[in-house]
C-alpha cells in the first residue's frame, strides 16, 4: 500500500460533481465566449439624424469584452493583481470583472459614408460566475483551490455580490421553436369571435431573446396571428401575413393549406386533414379580398400603415420598410428567411385546423415534453441586451437634445463631442443594473423579455450543508407566475418528466411540484460539445440536412407542394420546415439519425433531439421535429438497437422524443403489454430517475414514498459539516457539526459525489423500544454519556461586519477609527484596538467592538444582541487601504451541544425531538456486549410510516460494523440484472443477506438483542431491535426558538405584550386557544391568560354617566406634609372625578383589559359614546 492517506486532496474525483453544476457554468461560459458577441450583432445600430442637416450618425456596439476579476482601488481605479472569491466574501464586495465594449460612430453625410470611429467604453464591473471561464479559479486543481482558500471541491456556478453568494435559479420555459397546440379559456376573451384554441410558438433568436407568437382560431373559421409589440398584443389576419411574406397567389396559399388533406384516406391512422380545410382556406382568402388586398405590396402597405405609429424609430420611413421591420422583428423571429416563415405559418395553420377538427390533441404546456429551461447565462444575456438597447436609445436622445439646446455650437460631426455626451449617459451603470438584478432577483424591464415573471430570479446559495448547496444548482422552478395560481394541474407529476425531474425531491407545502430537482443523470444541452468546443450552428444544420436528404427527405423548395400526413411527415429542424419524409421511410431515418448520434463521428451532435411524433388516431400532431438548440433537458440511456461492438452506445435523449421511444427498465417487465417489449433503448440504472439528494437515502425503494420526500427536505436542513474552509468564511450564519461520521450504510452516490467530504450525521446505536415513556410521539431519548462524549456536538458561527464606511457622511467616516476609549474600563472584552480578544466570551448585551470618532471625541460600542453567550471565534480585518482599518468581520461562535428540544432525524424521514438526556446507567444494556444505545426511539414510529429501509439500515449497519465494511444500499438493487455475479444468492431477499452477516458474528438473525433494564438489571420482556442508524441533527434547535416571558415589553398603545421572540414578547394566545380553554371550562385560566397576564387595567368609571373617558384626576391642594416615622405613609384619598358630571361621587374602579378603554377612546373619536352600566 502506498503511503498516501485515504481521503487526501489528490484522491478527489470531481467529474461527477462538476457535471451537476455544468448547466449554470456552461451557459455563462457561452455568454462570455460567443453569446455577448452574438447579442451585440443583434443590437440594432442607432441612427441619429440631424434635425436640420442631412447628416446621420450611426452608433453601434462592437467587441464586447469582460476581463478577469482584478482588485481595484476605490478611487484611483488602478488594479493590483487578481481578485479572488475568498477576498470578496471576506470584504463583502462583489466578484466582478471589467466590462468594456467598442462604441462605433459612423457618419453618413448626405450619402457620403464616413469611416468608422471606434471608442472603447467602460461598461463597469460585471459580475462573474465562479468557475466560469472568467473566474480566476478556473482550471485550478483541488490543491490549488485550497491554496486560494477555497473548498477543494469548489464547483462555482454562483456569483458573489457584496460578499453574499447568490445564484440564478433556472426556470421552466415553453420549448423554443415548437408550435404548440394550446387550449386556454383566456384566448376567447381576447376579442369577439375568438375561440379558446390557438397554436403558440415561442421563437428564440440566436441571441436567446425570444418572442411568443400565437395563431388564434376564430369561430368563423379564420385565424389571426397575435404578436406583442411594446407591451401590446396585435392581431393580424393570417392571410395578410401569408401574402406579405412572399410573392404568392391565392391559389398557392389555398393549395398549400389544403395539401395535407386527401379524400382517399378518410379517417385512417394519422389522418389530420378534414374536408373542412378547404372552406377555411377560402375564408382566410376572402378576408383579404374584403380588405381589397390582392398583392404582396398591398399587404405590406397595409401592415406598414398600421404599424408606423408604433414603430417609433421608423416614423419617417416608408410603409414597406416598416412592414418589413415588423415581419423581421416580430413574426417568427427564429427564422430569417421569409419563405421559411411562410412555410411555418402554413404548418401552424394546418396544426391549428387539425386541433379544431379533433384530429390531433392539444399539447400540454405543463408537460416536460414541451418545456425547456432558462439558464443563467441566457437570462443575463437577454437582460443585458435590453439594457444596452436602452442605453443606446437614451444616448440618441441625449445627442438630439444637445443639438436642440446648443444648436450650432455643438458640432454633430465631431465624434469627440458626441462621445462626451455619451459619457454623461453613465455607461458603468450597465454592469450595475446586472449586479442589481443578481442582488435582488428582480428585472427592471418594460417589455418583460417574454418572461412570465419579473422577480425571484436569484436566490441565496445557502451553505447550511453541502446537500442544500448542491441541490440549489439542480433545482428548476416552474415560474413564479404559477406559485400563486389556484389550480394545481401545474404541480402534477407527469410521466413525461420521467428520468429528467426527480419525483421524490420536491418540497411539500406551497412550492410542491413547482420547485423540482433534476435527476442526477439529467443534463442540459449547451453550446459546447462533449470536448468543450463551441458548436457551430451552421455546420451542424447543414450536416443534418445532408443526412436527411441522403436518407430520402424531399427538401422544401419553393413552390413544391407535398401532401401531408399520413403520406409524408413534415420535418422541422429547430422550428424551420426543411422538408418532407415519406411516412414509410421515417422510422428508418430516425434509427439512422440515432445511430449517428451515438457514433463518435462528429457529424451529428450527440444531443440532437429526434422528436419523431408518429402517426396516430387523433394523438399529438405528427411530424419529425429535430432540435439542436441549447437549454434542453437531456439524459443518457443505452441504445440497444445498435450492435454494441464494445461501445456503451450511450445516447442522450430529450423529453420530447422520450415520449415516443421504447425504453426498457432494467427489471425487465413488459409494461403490461401482451406482445414482447419492442425496446430500442434501455435505462442505464434505475437510480437515474432520482436526484442527488434522493439518491442518498439508503434503500429508498423499501420506504413509503412520502418518507423519501421528507428525507430530501430534511437532508437539506441538516446541521452538518458544511464547509472545509469554515475558518475562512464570513457567512452570516454557519452551522457546523463537530464530530460527523461517514455512514456505514451508503448508496453508490456517496462515493460518486464525494459526499464524505461533507458528512451530515453520525452512526448512532439506535434501540427501538418504548422505554420510560419519554420516547412517545416521535420524541427520542439520547444517552447522556454519548452526548457528553461528543455525539451531535456542534457550533453556530455568526459573523458581524463592522464597516466604518457604512454610516454617516464621508467626513465622519474618515474620522472614525477602531479604538477603545482610554477612560472606559467597563468592557474588558475589547482590546485597545477596539476589537475583541479571540476566544473571549461575550455575554448578551456586552460590547464586542468599539469605534472612536476623533472629531466628536465619542466612542461607540457595538453590543452583542441575542440571548446566548458567544465566543469570539475570529476577527478578520480589511487592510486594503493601508493606514486605518475600515472594516472588520467579527465572528462569534455559539456552542450548540444537544439539549432537550433539539431535532434529529434518520435518513428515512423519521424526525424526532430529544425529550431527555437519559443517564447512561439507566439505559438498557445488552448482556453480551454491554452496549447501551445512544438513542431510543419508539416502535410506534414504524407501522404507519412504513420506513422499512430504516430497519434494513439498522441491520445492515450492524452487520457492516461487525465485519468492518461499508454496506452498499443503492436502491433498486433487485431490479438490476447481475449477469456476472452469482445469481443464486441474489434471488434471496435483502434481509436474508443481511441476516447472515449478523449470524456469522453470533448475533440474532433479525437484528434483535436481549436487553436488560438499566434500572433493575432484569431482562426486558421482549427482544429489542437495536443497531446503528445514521442520524442527522437538524438545524432547528430550541435555543433559537424557545420563548418564555413573565413580564416584559408591552405595546404602548394596547398595553398588551408585544409579539416576537426577538423582542422578548409573549407567546400568542389566539382565538383557537381561547376556544379550547372555554371548552374545558377553565375560566380562571382563561381570565389569567387574557387579562391578568396581558393588559390588566383598573379604570375609573363614572357610574352616573357611565363614561370611561371623562375621569380626571384632581390634584390634591396640599402635598402631604405629615410623615410620621414608623407609620406607613397615609394613602391619599382617591381624587378622581368625572369631568362630565363635575363630581367625584359616582366614581368606581373597574378592572378591565386596557384595550377596552382604547376601544372606548377610538369610538369616541368617531362620535360614538360608550356607556357602561355598573351593577353592585
Partner 1 sequence: MEGASYARMPRVKIRELKDDYMKFELRDTDASVANALRRVMISEVPTVAIDLVEIEVNSSVLNDEFIAHRLGLIPLTSERAMGMRFSRDCDACDGDGQCEYCSVEFHLRVKCMTDSTLDVTSKDLYSSDHTVVPVDFSAADSSSVETSDGRGIIIVKLRKGQELRLRAIARKGIGKDHAKWSPAATVTFMYEPEIHINEDLMESLSLEEKKEWIDSSPTRVFDIDPVTQQVMVVDPEAYSYDDEVIKKAEAMGKPGLVEINAKQDSFIFTVESTGAVKASQLLQNAIEILKQKLDAVRLSEDTVEADDQFGELGAHMRGG
Binding site for partner 1 (CB under 8 A): 727, 738, 784-786, 788-790, 793, 795, 839, 871, 873, 893, 895, 919-921, 925-931, 998-999, 1001-1005, 1008-1010, 1012, 1014-1019, 1023
Q: Which is nearer to partner 1, 977 or 1001 (CB)?
A: 1001
Question: From the CB of 606, what's the least distance to partner 1, in Å?
Answer: 45
Q: Which is nearer to partner 1, 839 or 1060 (CB)?
A: 839
Residue 525 grid cell = 444541452
Question: From the CB of 934, what's the least distance to partner 1, in Å?
Answer: 12
Q: Which is nearer to partner 1, 681 or 729 (CB)?
A: 729
The CA dihedral of 218, 223, 227, 231, to the nearest 10 degrees, is -20
In this structure, what are the phi and psi dihedrals at residue 316, rounded to the nearest 5 degrees?
A: -100, 5
Q: Is the peptide bond before 140 cis (omega within 30 degrees of 0)?
A: no
The number of beta carbons lying within 10 Å of the beta carbon of residue 805 is 14
DSSP state at residue 124: E
Q: Which is nearer to partner 1, 786 or 947 (CB)?
A: 786
Report, in this order, helix, strand and coil percent for the chain, each rounded to 5. 30, 25, 45
The upper half-sphere exposure of residue 975, i.e. CA atoms within 13 Å in the direction of its Cβ, equals 17
Note whether 933 and 923 are within 8 A (CB): yes
Question: From the CB of 733, what's the least distance to partner 1, in Å?
Answer: 16
DSSP 425-454: T-TTHHHHHHHHHHHH-----SSGGG-S-S
CA distances from 31 to 167, 172, 423 (A): 16, 20, 26
Counts of helices then strands in the chain (DSSP H, E): 29, 52
CA distances from 339 to 209, 248, 300, 437 (A): 22, 10, 15, 39
Residue 819 grid cell = 479604538
Query: CA–CA separation, 982 vs 385, rounded Å?
Result: 61
Question: From the CB of 1021, what's the least distance to partner 1, in Å?
Answer: 12
Question: From the CB of 1041, what's the least distance to partner 1, in Å?
Answer: 22
Residue 811 grid cell = 467626513
Q: Which is nearer to partner 1, 485 or 921 (CB)?
A: 921
Q: Which is nearer to partner 1, 146 or 460 (CB)?
A: 146
Q: Which is nearer to partner 1, 1012 or 1096 (CB)?
A: 1012
- Compute CA 963 distance to the chain's CA centroid, rounded to the nearest angstrom: 43
Query: CA–CA separation, 166 vs 159, rounded Å?
Result: 5
Query: CA–CA separation, 37 vs 32, rounded Å?
Result: 8
Q: Which is nearer to partner 1, 216 or 894 (CB)?
A: 894
Q: Which is nearer to partner 1, 558 or 790 (CB)?
A: 790
- Bridge partners (DSSP) of residue 994 are none
Query: CA–CA separation, 498 vs 697, rounded Å?
Result: 19
Question: From the CB of 995, what's the least distance to partner 1, in Å?
Answer: 10
Query: CA–CA separation, 754 vs 18, rounded Å?
Result: 11
Note whether 1010 and 926 are within 8 A (CB): yes
Helices 238-245 and 338-356: angle between axes, nearest 10 degrees: 150
Question: From the CB of 726, what's the least distance to partner 1, in Å?
Answer: 9
Question: From the CB of 141, what's the least distance to partner 1, in Å?
Answer: 19
Query: CA–CA separation, 396 vs 418, rounded Å?
Result: 10
Q: Which is nearer to partner 1, 706 or 919 (CB)?
A: 919
Q: Which is nearer to partner 1, 213 or 1011 (CB)?
A: 1011
Question: From the CB of 1017, what's the least distance to partner 1, in Å?
Answer: 3
Question: From the CB of 999, what's the least distance to partner 1, in Å?
Answer: 5
- Bridge pairing between strands 858-863 and 663-664: unpaired
Q: Which is nearer to partner 1, 603 or 988 (CB)?
A: 988
Q: Which stretches does DSSP call E strand in 804-902?
A: 816-818, 841-842, 847-853, 858-863, 870-877, 887-895
Q: Which is nearer to partner 1, 560 or 921 (CB)?
A: 921
Q: Which is nearer to partner 1, 491 or 793 (CB)?
A: 793
Question: From the CB of 763, what's the least distance to partner 1, in Å?
Answer: 18
Note whether 780 and 770 are within 8 A (CB): no
Closest to 654 in 3D by CA, of 639, 625, 634: 634
Question: From the CB of 477, what's the least distance to partner 1, in Å?
Answer: 38
Question: From the CB of 844, what's the least distance to partner 1, in Å?
Answer: 18
Residue 613 grid cell = 411524433
Q: Which is nearer to partner 1, 447 or 897 (CB)?
A: 897
- Bridge pairing between strands 171-174 and 180-183: unpaired
Q: Which is nearer to partner 1, 8 or 863 (CB)?
A: 8
Altogether, the residues listed in the chain come to a count of 1176
Q: Which is nearer to partner 1, 678 or 839 (CB)?
A: 839
Reduce the DSSP state of residue 675 to 3 states and report it: coil
Question: From the CB of 70, what's the least distance to partner 1, in Å?
Answer: 29
Note whether 804 and 887 are within 8 A (CB): yes
Question: From the CB of 896, what's the least distance to partner 1, in Å?
Answer: 11
Q: Which stretches does DSSP call E strand in 939-1090?
A: 967-968, 1008-1009, 1011-1012, 1024-1034
Residue 320 grid cell = 414597406
The number of beta carbons lying within 10 Å of the beta carbon of residue 964 is 7
Question: From the CB of 147, what's the least distance to partner 1, in Å?
Answer: 13
Q: Which is nearer to partner 1, 527 or 892 (CB)?
A: 892
Closest to 236 in 3D by CA, of 307, 155, 136: 307
Residue 133 grid cell = 471561464
Question: From the CB of 932, what's the least distance to partner 1, in Å?
Answer: 9
Question: From the CB of 132, what's the least distance to partner 1, in Å?
Answer: 31
Closest to 454 in 3D by CA, of 177, 231, 175: 231
Q: Which stretches does DSSP call E strand in 599-739?
A: 609-613, 623-627, 633-639, 650-653, 663-664, 681-682, 718-719, 733-737
Note whether 653 and 637 are within 8 A (CB): yes
Note whether 351 and 171 are within 8 A (CB): no
Amino acid at each position: 500500500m502506498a503511503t498516501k492517506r485515504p481521503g487526501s486532496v489528490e484522491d478527489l474525483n470531481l467529474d461527477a460533481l462538476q457535471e451537476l453544476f455544468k448547466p449554470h457554468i456552461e451557459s455563462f461560459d457561452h455568454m462570455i465566449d460567443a453569446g455577448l458577441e452574438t447579442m451585440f450583432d443583434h443590437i440594432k445600430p442607432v441612427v441619429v439624424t440631424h434635425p436640420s442637416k442631412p447628416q446621420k450618425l450611426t452608433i453601434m456596439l462592437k467587441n464586447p469584452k469582460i476581463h478577469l476579476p482584478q482588485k481595484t482601488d476605490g478611487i484611483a481605479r488602478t488594479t493590483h493583481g487578481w481578485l479572488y472569491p475568498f477576498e470578496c466574501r471576506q470584504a463583502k464586495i462583489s466578484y466582478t470583472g471589467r466590462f468594456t465594449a467598442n462604441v462605433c460612430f459612423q457618419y453618413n453625410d448626405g450619402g457620403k459614408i464616413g469611416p468608422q470611429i471606434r471608442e472603447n467604453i467602460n461598461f463597469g464591473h460585471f459580475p462573474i460566475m465562479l468557475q466560469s471561464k472568467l473566474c480566476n479559479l478556473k482550471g485550478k486543481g483541488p490543491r490549488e483551490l485550497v491554496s486560494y482558500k477555497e473548498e477543494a471541491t469548489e464547483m462555482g456556478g454562483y456569483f458573489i455580490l457584496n460578499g453574499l453568494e447568490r445564484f440564478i435559479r433556472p426556470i421552466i420555459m415553453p420549448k423554443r421553436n415548437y408550435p404548440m397546440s394550446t387550449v386556454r379559456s383566456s384566448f376567447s376573451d381576447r376579442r369577439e369571435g375568438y375561440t379558446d384554441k390557438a397554436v403558440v410558438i415561442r421563437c428564440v433568436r440566436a441571441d436567446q431573446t425570444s418572442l411568443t407568437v400565437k395563431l388564434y382560431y376564430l369561430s368563423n373559421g379564420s385565424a389571426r396571428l397575435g404578436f406583442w409589440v411594446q407591451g401590446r398584443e396585435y392581431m393580424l389576419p393570417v392571410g395578410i401575413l401569408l401574402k406579405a411574406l412572399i410573392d404568392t397567389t391565392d391559389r398557392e396559399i389555398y393549395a398549400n393549406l389544403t395539401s395535407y388533406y386527401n379524400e382517399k384516406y378518410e379517417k385512417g391512422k394519422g389522418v389530420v386533414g378534414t374536408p373542412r380545410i378547404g372552406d377555411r382556406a377560402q375564408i382566410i382568402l376572402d378576408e383579404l379580398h374584403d380588405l381589397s388586398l390582392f398583392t404582396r405590396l398591398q399587404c405590406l402597405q397595409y401592415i406598414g400603415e398600421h404599424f408606423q405609429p408604433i414603430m417609433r424609430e421608423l416614423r419617417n420611413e416608408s410603409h414597406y420598410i416598416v412592414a418589413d421591420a415588423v415581419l423581421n422583428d416580430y413574426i417568427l423571429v427564429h427564422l430569417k428567411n421569409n419563405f421559411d416563415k411562410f412555410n411555418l405559418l402554413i404548418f401552424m395553420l394546418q396544426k391549428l385546423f387539425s386541433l379544431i377538427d379533433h384530429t390531433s390533441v392539444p399539447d400540454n404546456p405543463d408537460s416536460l415534453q414541451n418545456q425547456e429551461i432558462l439558464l443563467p447565462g441566457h437570462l443575463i444575456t437577454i437582460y443585458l441586451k435590453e439594457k444596452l438597447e436602452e442605453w443606446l436609445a437614451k444616448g440618441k436622445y441625449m445627442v438630439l437634445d444637445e443639438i436642440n439646446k446648443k444648436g450650432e455650437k455643438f458640432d454633430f460631426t465631431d465624434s469627440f463631442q458626441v462621445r462626451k455626451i455619451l459619457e454623461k449617459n453613465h455607461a458603468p451603470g450597465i454592469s450595475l443594473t446586472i449586479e442589481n438584478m443578481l442582488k435582488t432577483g428582480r428585472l427592471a424591464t418594460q417589455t418583460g423579455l417574454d418572461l412570465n415573471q419579473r422577480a425571484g430570479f436569484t436566490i441565496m446559495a445557502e451553505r447550511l450543508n453541502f446537500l442544500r448547496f448542491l441541490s440549489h444548482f439542480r433545482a428548476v422552478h416552474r415560474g413564479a407566475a404559477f406559485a400563486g395560481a389556484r389550480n394545481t394541474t401545474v404541480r402534477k407529476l407527469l410521466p413525461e418528466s420521467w428520468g429528467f425531474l426527480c419525483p421524490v425531491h420536491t418540497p411539500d407545502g406551497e412550492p410542491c411540484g413547482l420547485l423540482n430537482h433534476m435527476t442526477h443523470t439529467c443534463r442540459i444541452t449547451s453550446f459546447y460539445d462533449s470536448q468543450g468546443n463551441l458548436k457551430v450552428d451552421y455546420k451542424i444544420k447543414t450536416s443534418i440536412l445532408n443526412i436527411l436528404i441522403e436518407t430520402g427527405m424531399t427538401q422544401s423548395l419553393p413552390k413544391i407542394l407535398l401532401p401531408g400526413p399520413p403520406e409524408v411527415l413534415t420535418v422541422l429542424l429547430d422550428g424551420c420546415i426543411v422538408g418532407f419524409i415519406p411516412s414509410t421511410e421515417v422510422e428508418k431515418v430516425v434509427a439512422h439519425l440515432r445511430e449517428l448520434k451515438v457514433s463518435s463521428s462528429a457529424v451529428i451532435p450527440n444531443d440532437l433531439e429526434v422528436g419523431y411524433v408518429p402517426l396516430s388516431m387523433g394523438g399529438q400532431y405528427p411530424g419529425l421535429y429535430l432540435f439542436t438548440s441549447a437549454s434542453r433537458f437531456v439524459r443518457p440511456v443505452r441504445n440497444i438497437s445498435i450492435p454494441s461492438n464494445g461501445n456503451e452506445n450511450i445516447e442522450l435523449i430529450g423529453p420530447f422524443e422520450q415520449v415516443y421511444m421504447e425504453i426498457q427498465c432494467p427489471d425487465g417487465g413488459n409494461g403490461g403489454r401482451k406482445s414482447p417489449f419492442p425496446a430500442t433503448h434501455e435505462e442505464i440504472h434505475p437510480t437515474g430517475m432520482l436526484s442527488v439528494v434522493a439518491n442518498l437515502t439508503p434503500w429508498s425503494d423499501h420506504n413509503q414514498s412520502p418518507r423519501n420526500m421528507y428525507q430530501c427536505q430534511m437532508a437539506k436542513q441538516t446541521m452538518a459539516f458544511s464547509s472545509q474552509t469554515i475558518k475562512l468564511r464570513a457567512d452570516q450564519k454557519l452551522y457546523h457539526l463537530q464530530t460527523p461520521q461517514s455512514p456505514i450504510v451508503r448508496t453508490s452516490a456517496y462515493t460518486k459525489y464525494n459526499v464524505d467530504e461533507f458528512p451530515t450525521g453520525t452512526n448512532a446505536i439506535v434501540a427501538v423500544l418504548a422505554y420510560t415513556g419519554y420516547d412517545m410521539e416521535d420524541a427520542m431519548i439520547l444517552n447522556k454519556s454519548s452526548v457528553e462524549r461528543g455525539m451531535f456536538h456542534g457550533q453556530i458561527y455568526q459573523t458581524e461586519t463592522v464597516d466604518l464606511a457604512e454610516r454617516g457622511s464621508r467626513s465622519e467616516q474618515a474620522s472614525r477609527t477602531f479604538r477603545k476609549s482610554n477612560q472606559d474600563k467597563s468592557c474588558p472584552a475589547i482590546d485597545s484596538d477596539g476589537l475583541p480578544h479571540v476566544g473571549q466570551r461575550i455575554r448578551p448585551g456586552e460590547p464586542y467592538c468599539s469605534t472612536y470618532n476623533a472629531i466628536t471625541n465619542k466612542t461607540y460600542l457595538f453590543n452583542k444582541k441575542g440571548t446566548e453567550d458567544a465566543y469570539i471565534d475570529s476577527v478578520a480585518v480589511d487592510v486594503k487601504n493601508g493606514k486605518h482599518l475600515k472594516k472588520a468581520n467579527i465572528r462569534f461562535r455559539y456552542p450548540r451541544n444537544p439539549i432537550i428540544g433539539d431535532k434529529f432525524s434518520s435518513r428515512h424521514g423519521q424526525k424526532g425531538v430529544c425529550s431527555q438526556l437519559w443517564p447512561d446507567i439507566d439505559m438498557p444494556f445488552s448482556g453480551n456486549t454491554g452496549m447501551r444505545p445512544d438513542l431510543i426511539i419508539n416502535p410506534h414510529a414504524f407501522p404507519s410510516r412504513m420506513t422499512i429501509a430504516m430497519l434494513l439500515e439498522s441491520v445492515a449497519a450492524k452487520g457492516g460494523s461487525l465485519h468492518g465494511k461499508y454496506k452498499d444500499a443503492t436502491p433498486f438493487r433487485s431490479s438490476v440484472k447481475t449477469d456476472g455475479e452469482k445469481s443464486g444468492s441474489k434471488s434471496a431477499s435483502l434481509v436474508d443477506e443481511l441476516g447472515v452477516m449478523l449470524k456469522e458474528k453470533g448475533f440474532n438473525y433479525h437484528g434483535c438483542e436481549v436487553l436488560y433494564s438499566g434500572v433493575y438489571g432484569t431482562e426486558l420482556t421482549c427482544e429489542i431491535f437495536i443497531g446503528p442508524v445514521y442520524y442527522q441533527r437538524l438545524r432547528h434547535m430550541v435555543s433559537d426558538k424557545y420563548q418564555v416571558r413573565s413580564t416584559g415589553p408591552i405595546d404602548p398603545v394596547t398595553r398588551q405584550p408585544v409579539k416576537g421572540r426577538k423582542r422578548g414578547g409573549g407567546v400568542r394566545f389566539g382565538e383557537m386557544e381561547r376556544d379550547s380553554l372555554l371548552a374545558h371550562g377553565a375560566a380562571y385560566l382563561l381570565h389569567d391568560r387574557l387579562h391578568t397576564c396581558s393588559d390588566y387595567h383598573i379604570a375609573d368609571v363614572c357610574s352616573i354617566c357611565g363614561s370611561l373617558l371623562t375621569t380626571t384626576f384632581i390634584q390634591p391642594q396640599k402635598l402631604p406634609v405629615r410623615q410620621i416615622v414608623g407609620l406607613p405613609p397615609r394613602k391619599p384619598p382617591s381624587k378622581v372625578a368625572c369631568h362630565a358630571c363635575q363630581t367625584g361621587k359616582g366614581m368606581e374602579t373597574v378592572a378591565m383589559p386596557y384595550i377596552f378603554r382604547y376601544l372606548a377612546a377610538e369610538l369616541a373619536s368617531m362620535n360614538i359614546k360608550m356607556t357602561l352600566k355598573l351593577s353592585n
